[in-house]
Amino acid sequence: MDVRPGDILVMKKNHPCGSNEMYVIRSGMDFKLRCTGCSREFMIPRNKIEKNIKKIVRNDEEN
């Protein structure tokens, strides 16, 4: 799965705050994500996050 920093992941399950969108800060073996609802940052392993992604919203602001 091609997930890049700057993308927004729409998840199948909601975060405890109620939002289901996560901003990708870092990707690799682990993802560092920021919840768009409450701005909490957390790290999660790639294998756990890939099966819970519903949609990837690209942020194509390349110059």
Q: Structural domain boundaries of the chain?
A: 8-57
* DSSP codes joined into one string, 16-38: TTS--EEEEEE-SSEEEEEETTT
Tell me how far apart the alpha carbons of residues 46 and 54 are, in angstroms, rounded to a whole number: 15
- Tens of pLDDT, residue by residue over 4-54, are 999 999 999 999 999 999 999 999 999 999 999 999 999 999 999 989 999
Residue pair 6/59 in contact by the 8 Å Cβ criterion: yes
Provide the pLDDT for residue 57: 92
Tell me how far apart the alpha carbons of residues 55 and 21 are, in angstroms, rounded to a whole number: 10
